[in-house]
Structures are given as structure tokens and as C-alpha cells.
Amino acid sequence: MTESSLDLQESGWEELRREARKIEGDLDVKLSSYAKLGARFNQGGYGVDGGSPGGSWKSMEIEIQSSLEKLLDINDSMSRCAASAAPTISVTQKLARHRDILHEYTQIDEVIGQAQATRAVLGSQRSLFSDVQGKVKNLGDKFPVIRGLLGSIRRRRSRDTLILSAVIAACTLFIIIYWLSK
């Protein structure tokens, strides 16, 4: 291989590394902003649609996904560039580090997707339970017998809880006394 083609490959490698570092930095900033957006949402700062002055959830997710795809492409280009030249230990280590960083970002992306799916399921369950609770309340209001039945069920459940707690406490006390007497 000639010296000029080696210099060309090295300059291409360095340009790809600079671009990868730039995208990694951008991803850090975007993920930090995404986390802040999530914290504000959890504190009740935004409406149900997730809209915000700086951008919505969806646009932020699209930007992060786009950056991840760019980083994947650049990592592939870096791998091809390293394979076409005689890879040194330094180049191999740098390439492995960039691959590790990409892997960490993709894991974060998977966790975010799982969290969003869980959030959606919990939201649907909450609305389902609210609907059921409303229907039971309406039935109780319409039919006093059902209201009385629900009250007696509630009282019996409370009584059963108290009895179970007393039995557990007594058993625990007997075990402690037995243990101390030995």
C-alpha cells in the first residue's frame, strides 16, 4: 500500500471518528433533554398529549432514533475503514469503544421503548378500573341492596384483615417466646 493511500485512509478514519464523537455528544444532550422532559411530565408540567414548548415526545424520540441510525452507519463505515487498512491496536481499541457506546445507546433506546409500552398499558388499566369503579358506584346508588352488600363485603374484608394480622402477630410472639426460652 502506498503512503498517500495510507494517509487518505487515516484522514478518513479520523473524520469518521470526529463525526462519531459529535453524534455521541449530540445523543448525550438529546437523552438528557428527553429525561428532563420526562421528569417535567411526571411532575404534571405538560398535558396528556406530551406537548412542550421545546418539542414533543414524538419529535424528541424521532431525533434520538435518527441519531442512533447515523451513529450505526458511521460505526459501520469505521469498521470498513479499519478493515481496509492494516488495523493497529489503537484503531481496534477505538473502534471497540465506539461500538460499546453504540451498544449502550441502543440498550437505552430499548429500555425507553419498554417503559413507554408499560406506561401505555398502565394507563389503559387505570381507565378500565376507573370505569369499573364508576359502574359499581352507579349500581350502588341505584340499588340500595347492592350498596348494603358492598358495605358488608368491605366490612368483612376489614375484619378478615384484622383477624389475620392478629393471628400472625400471635404466632410471631409465640415463636419469639419459644426461641428465647431455649
* pTM listed for this prediction: 0.58
Residue 71 near residue 27, CB atoms below 8 Å: yes
Computed over every residue of the chain, the mean pLDDT equals 83
Determine the angle formed by the axes of helices 89-142 and 3-42, rounding to 10 degrees: 20
DSSP one-letter code for 48:
T
- Alpha-carbon distance of 51 to 29, in angstroms, equals 19
Q: Where are the domains of the chain?
A: 3-133, 143-182
pLDDT at residue 43, as a whole number? 65
Q: What is the pLDDT of residues 123-178, one digit of tens each?
A: 899 999 899 888 888 877 887 887 788 888 889 999 999 999 999 999 999 999 98
Which has more confidence, 19 or 115?
19
pLDDT at residue 7, as a whole number? 57
Give me the mean pLDDT over the 84-103 stretch: 85
